[in-house]
Amino acid sequence: MQKRKLGNLEVSALGLGCMGMTHAYGQAPTRADMISLLRSAVERGVTFFDTAEVYGPFNNEELVGEALAPLRGQVVIATKFGFAPDPKGGPRWSELDSRPEHIRAVTEASLKRLKTDAIDLLYQHRVDPNVPIEDVAGTVGELIKEGKVKHFGLSEAGPDTIRRAHAVQPVTALQSEYSLWTREPEAEILPLLEELGIGFVPFSPLGRGFLTGKMDESTQFDSKDFRNSLPRFTAEARKANQVLVDLLGQVAQQKGATPAQVALAWLLAQKPWIVPIPGTTKLHRLDENLGAVALQLTPEDLAGIDAAAANITVQGARYPEHLARQAKG
């Protein structure tokens, strides 16, 4: 497996997003199967694993902690803080809380669930408008000095927030959605990250499964599937956006690859400090995704993809309005 650098943190060129193993996409697989998948990923050279306290909540970190504890010296684990606690137990997606005392409490709890002495990369999950980012960065900086955290990250943060945070505590990585159908980071974020030496971790690099070509407007999701609430996943939007999947399919056919591999290889080709974290619950999909690292897209391939994509207008917002507000950090 090739390696890449996020700031000065070395990880595998592709990471593994673990959210879907317990959360968001309908009926979760068995814990035993996911422990096996996580360990199989390490065997295949994956060293970078992404989780968060809010996934589940809590059981995703517990799963990752149990699976990777015997392999802890070989892996980099990233987790996140930033959502307010629910009196009924667990954090709430609907409310933010990055007060310093809350960051500390979440970190201590995450350390226990992850069965580790230090979190390799700790992200602020969403920017909290009620807490100055300097206070957030300073608190994580203190945790780094205490040896409880190794690196600081942000998620879905805007340019001003990134710059202000980085001035207080160097930011190792930004995690935001980025793929062929979500290209907003290209305008301001990628140039800023390059300027500051910050790595980029695209989440949902396969468009929450849409860019794999394995779904269309007739696909029915589980009643508990998060995608039911996303404007981009209405049947009408999926039908309209099929043209983008068709483009990936054409390139894949030319390359003897799959649409998913082309989508990931396109991301990897954008910058050497980009590390996508596709998620999966199936071993054959993990192997398919990892095959993207060896897929070489020529400058002509990339130019052709960009030229064709420029004529495609993606239909549907990423999030419903209440979640979209949180992603404007």
- Which residues partner with 177 through β-bridges? 203
pLDDT tens sequence across 222-266: 988 889 999 999 999 999 999 999 999 999 999 999 999 999 999
Q: Strand runs (DSSP E) across the chain, as ranges?
A: 3-6, 9-12, 16-17, 48-50, 76-81, 83-85, 91-96, 119-124, 149-155, 171-177, 199-203
SS3 58: coil
pLDDT tens sequence across 166-182: 999 999 999 999 999 99
What are the angstrom distances between the C-alpha of 21 and each of 63, 102, 213, 275, 276? 9, 26, 21, 20, 17
DSSP summary character for residue 257? S
Residue 223, class by beta-carbon neighbours within 10 Å (0-12 exposed, 13-18 middle, 19+ buried)?
Answer: exposed
* Closest alpha carbon to 242 in 257, 232, 229: 232
At 92 the pLDDT is: 85
The segments of the chain whose pLDDT lies below 70 read none
Which residues are known catalytic residues? 55
Whether the full predicted model's pTM is greater than 0.85, yes or no, is yes
At 264 the pLDDT is: 98
Domains and CATH numbers, the chain: 3-326 (3.20.20.100)
At 91 the pLDDT is: 85
* Closest alpha carbon to 7 in 188, 194, 132, 260: 194
At 28 the pLDDT is: 86
